Structure 1
C-alpha cells in the first residue's frame, strides 16, 4: 500500500490552473469537488492532480482545473457553470447532492462535455459514474463494531454531512445492522460532518450527559480520530475505549495498531479509497480517447481489520491509508 499525505493547513480552499489554449486534439479536464474540509478530500485532490500532471507531461492533456467547494450545492453549481464557460472537455464531479446538480450536469452534457461523477455521484443519466456502494460500506463497518460488542450495549452514532446522499446511504447501511442486532441500544446520534475536529467537539460535549458507551458507528473522513480523542480525554473511559469504526485515517490506524498490540483493542476501518481521484482522471481521459465503458462502474473500498495491521508498515501522521491505483489498474479493472 502507498500512503498519500498532505497537510491540511498548507492548502488553499480553491486551486485553479488556467486552461491553456488547446488544439483540437488537446484536452482540458476540470474537477468540481464539492467539499474540501477533511484529509480524505485533500488526498483525493492530490491524487487527481498528480495523475493530471502526469497526463499533461506526456502530452495527453493540455491542462487541468481544480475547483474545491464549501459543501454547498450553490457553490458547486457556480463552479460547474464556470467550467462549462471555460470550454473544458471533461468535468469530474464529487457531488454535494445526488439530485440538485442534475440541471447543471445536463447543461454540461448538452454542451458536449464529458461528465464523470465519482465518490458521491449526480444521478443525471448523461453522466458516467464511478460508484461506491456506501450502504454496503456502512453495513460492513457497523457489523464489525457490532461483532466486537457481541451484539449488545450502548451505541453512539456519529453521522456525516447533513443532507448528503453518501451520508444517507452509510446511515441506511448502519440501520441494517441495528435491525439485525436488537441488543444494540442507540443512546445518541451526532453529526460529525466527516471532520475530526467537529466530531471531537460534538462527542466531547455529549459524553458527560450519556450513559456508558460500548461502541461507536462513525462514517469516515477523519471523524474516527476525533471521536477517539474525545474518549481519550474523558476520565470515564481510561483504559476502556469502545470499538469505533474507523475511516482509514493514519492517525486512527496508528493508535489502533498500538492499542491492539498492548491490550487487544479490536475494531474495523474502511473507506472509499482517495486514489479514486486519480482513477477518475484516467477513466475520463480514456473515454475522451475512445474508450466505451458502461455508464455505471463500481469502485472498491479499502477495508482493514485487526489482521491487516501488521502488514501496513510505517504510516505518516495526518494521512489516509490508500492503495495506489495507476492507469494500468484503471484499464484492467474499470475499462476492460
Structure 2
C-alpha cells in the first residue's frame, strides 16, 4: 500500500507539472498577440493566427448570412460606423457589405467573388460551420485574410471570434434561470435558434450541460429561428399544448416570449433571453424574473478590426472568445440596461468597451447608417 501511495503521489506531481507546463506553453505561444484585453484566447485553444504583412490601405468585405434579424442589421450598422471614423477610414479604401440569406452556396459564392476581385480581407458570419473548407483554401492561395465571427466555422486555420456559447447559454443563462425558479423541478421551455447553425448547436449543448444536473426538470424544445414573430408563435403554441411552464430559456427573438406570456395570460416565471430592448424592458417593467445575456452586434467591427490588424502583421489567438455581458431583472436600470425611448429592436449592449472607446456605439450613430448591401 505504501509503495502504491508513493507511486500515486509521484504520478500526481507529474500530471500537475505537465498541466502547468501546458499552460505556460499556451501563454508563451499567445504572448504578444494583438490587444489581448479584447481578443482573449478561447478555452483550450493553443494556436495563433498570423499573416504576411501587407501595405494598406485595404479593400475589406463583410459577408453576412441570415437576413431580417435586427441583431444582424445592427451589426452591419456598427461596422459602417466604425469604418467611417477617421482613424479607421485611413486604413480602408473600400468597405463592401453583402447579406446573402440562408443559402450556403450563395454565401460561399459571395466570398469567392470577393477573393477573385482581389479584396484583401473578408469578415463573415457562416451559415453553416462545416461547409467552408474549400473556400478557406482558395482564400489562403489568393492571400486573402478571412475572419469568421459570431457563428464560427469549425476550421482552425482562420481566425474565429465568438462568445463561448456553452458558457453563454448554459453556465450563465440556464443556471440563472434555474436559480430563480421556486424549486429546480417542473417543465422548462427551451426555444432554439436556426437549425444546422454552430451557434444553435453550442448554445443547446450549454443548456443540456446545466439541466442534466436536475433530474426533476423536464425540457420541451421548440425552434424559434431567432425571430421575434416565430418565437411568439411557438411559445404560444407550446403553452396551448403543454400548459404553463415553470421557466423559459430563449436564445434570441425573446421579445416574442414576453409577448406570448402577456397574450396567453401565462403567469410570470423566470425567463432567460437576449439583450433586445423590448425583451429587457418587458422583464424590468413587468417584474418578470429572469436574465438578459448579450452577444453584442459589436462583434462585427471587432472582427473587421482584427482582419485589418492581420493585414498589418498582427498576431491573434486562433480562437477568440469575446466577453459575455449579462444582467438579471433585479439589477436592471432604465437608460443603462434598457432604453424606454428607443425601439424594441435595439440591442442594448451596442459594443465591447473592453475593446476600446471606438467599439461602443450610440443609438444616434447606428440610426444614421443603413443595413443594406452596398
Q: Same fold (TM over 0.5)?
A: yes
Q: Give the TM-score of the pair, scaled to structure 1.
A: 0.83
Distance 1:131 1:216 in 2: 24
Give the counterpart of 1:296 among 319, 336, 354.
319
> Which has the larger displacement, 64-73 or 205-214?
205-214
Contact 2:63 2:107 in 1 (8 A): yes
Contact 1:40 1:274 in 2 (8 A): yes
Contact 1:34 1:71 in 2 (8 A): yes
Contact 2:121 2:145 in 1 (8 A): yes
Contact 1:154 1:211 in 2 (8 A): no
Cα distance, 1:146 vs. partner?
1.1
Cα distance, 1:24 vs. partner?
6.1
Distance 2:254 2:71 in 1: 12
Contact 2:338 2:348 in 1 (8 A): no
3-state DSSP of counterpart to 1:67: strand
3-state DSSP of counterpart to 1:37: coil
**What is aligned with 2:5?**
none
Which residues of 2 match residues 7-22 of structure 1 at below 5 A? Answer: none
1:137-195 CA-partner distances (Å, limit 9, x unpaired):
11121111111112122111111001111101000000012111112112x21100011
Distance 2:89 2:98 in 1: 23
3-state DSSP of counterpart to 2:152: coil
**What is aligned with 1:154?**
187
3-state DSSP of counterpart to 1:31: strand
Contact 1:283 1:330 in 2 (8 A): no
Distance 1:302 1:199 in 2: 23
Which residues of 2 match residues 105-254 of structure 1 at below 5 A? Answer: 105-139=136-170, 140-149=172-181, 150-186=183-219, 188-220=220-252, 223-235=253-265, 237=266, 240-254=267-281
Contact 2:67 2:100 in 1 (8 A): yes
Cα distance, 1:326 vs. partner?
6.8
Contact 1:31 1:66 in 2 (8 A): yes
Q: Give the TM-score of the pair, scaled to structure 2.
A: 0.75
Task: Give the alignment's Cα RMSD to 1 decimal.
Answer: 2.3
Q: Gaps (5+ residues) in structure 1?
A: 1-22
Cα distance, 1:323 vs. partner?
4.5
1:56-86 CA-partner distances (Å, limit 9, x unpaired):
8742110111111212212211111111122
**What is aligned with 2:66?**
35
Q: 1:208 to 1:114 in 2, by over 3 A?
A: same
Distance 2:104 2:292 in 1: 29
Cα distance, 1:126 vs. partner?
2.6
Contact 1:44 1:276 in 2 (8 A): yes
Cα distance, 1:293 vs. partner?
2.0
Distance 2:101 2:69 in 1: 11
1:2-23 CA-partner distances (Å, limit 9, x unpaired):
xxxxxxxxxxxxxxxxxxxxx9
Q: 1:331 to 1:105 in 2, by over 3 A?
A: farther
Distance 1:177 1:125 in 2: 27
**What is aligned with 1:12?**
none
**What is aligned with 2:132?**
101
Contact 2:277 2:339 in 1 (8 A): no
**What is aligned with 1:4?**
none
Q: 1:107 to 1:195 in 2, by over 3 A?
A: same
Cα distance, 1:203 vs. partner?
1.9
**What is aligned with 2:49?**
none
3-state DSSP of counterpart to 1:272: coil
Q: Matched residue pairs, number?
A: 300
**What is aligned with 1:314?**
339
> Which has the larger displacement, 194-203 or 282-291?
282-291
